[in-house]
Structure 1
Amino acid sequence: MGELIVIRHAQASFGSDDYDRLSDLGHQQAELVGAALRDMGWVPDRLITGTLARQKQTLRGMGFDKAPEEHAGWNEYDFHDLLRVKFGGTIPDPVQHDRKTHFRTLRDVLREWQGGGVEGARETWTQFSARIASARQAATREGAERVLVISSGGAIGQLTASALGAAPEQMIALNLQVKNTAISRFIFTPRAFFLHEFNATPHFAPKERAHLLSYS
């Protein structure tokens, strides 16, 4: 059996003009999760990221030398696009910059998107879920036993919901739980794929590191 570990990128730059880059905290988180995997003796033989800068920066910060593959299927859904479409082209300032307002609004917009709404968005829910399935198939193809993927919360939520056979709305609950640099582990064979561990952060377990945990 093969093992797939999917890690959410480290903290990005919420509320800034360029969200798609790690914060100072994010760089610390990336170093810690890389060290945690090495302490476990878990060394990947396939590395994959999406095409987003925050995903690539996270992997670089983790300190693995093997050249990664890129697969755009592991990218996040474009939440900026969904919110712009929902609000007629301009995202209200509280939705853009206040965390509680942002995530409460995003939850509602995702439900609408899953139901076929938010017409005019660059990607439909059906397209999003299909590309996550395609990315999973590519990552677990023959040739590697330990696969490490750096992805994003929505992609991890959908991958997990799919592995559990859960309803689409469960993806939203899972998505919004995923911590920065959290480890989710899956077991795969040519005919099976199932969840083994979800949203683990052993690298933040020591009390002196608890303040480094973040969700966005």
Structure 2
Amino acid sequence: MSDVTDRRERLREKLVEVAEAAIAEGGLAAVKARPLAEAAGCAVGAIYNVFPDLDGLILAVNVRTLEALDQAMTEVGGRFPDDPERHLQALGAAYLGFAAAQTRRWRALFEHRLPEGYAVPDWYTDRLDTIFRHLRDPFAALFPDRPASERIEMARALFAGAHGIVALGLDGKLGAVDAPVIAARIRFLVRAVLAGA
């Protein structure tokens, strides 16, 4: 690796760290070029030598958030190898725990909007897909005779429902609720989906 490439990679990593901290502190609104450059110790223009734009930088931060979420879900993945329903409920609890502990980073995953015509990079889509893999094994165990494509859609529907419960719960949109109530609603959703499938 050349010295220039090495410096560029160090700056890229520093900018991601700084932007990640800014999002954790102030949400997406805190991602502004000048403060990020100051915190990273570089010129504003240097950001655009490393990233095509601030959207590219936010995607890089969001990938780190997805990796952290993946780790949180992986930690519960092996707890219930013979009980797919409890496995799904544990994944829901892990998702809620991550969202509650890392709320601004978690929100950035869903609040960030790319400009029209901005192609989502494959590396981002691949990382996003790793979250859904946690749901595939339980659904395969529960519904072995269903086509894989149908199980994937079931998993995505369950994720969307659980995400909605977490988002509405953390926002207080369904009245003031605490984490145990949100967790109970996720468990209810899992049971309802499996009973109706």
Pick the TM interval, shorter chain.
Answer: under 0.3
TM-score, length of structure 2 as denominator length: 0.28
Q: Which of structures 1 and 2 has the bigger CA Rg?
A: 2
Which of structures 1 and 2 has the larger relative contact order (alpha carbons within 8 angstroms, sep 6+)?
1
Larger strand proportion, structure 1 or 2? 1
TM-score, length of structure 1 as denominator length: 0.26
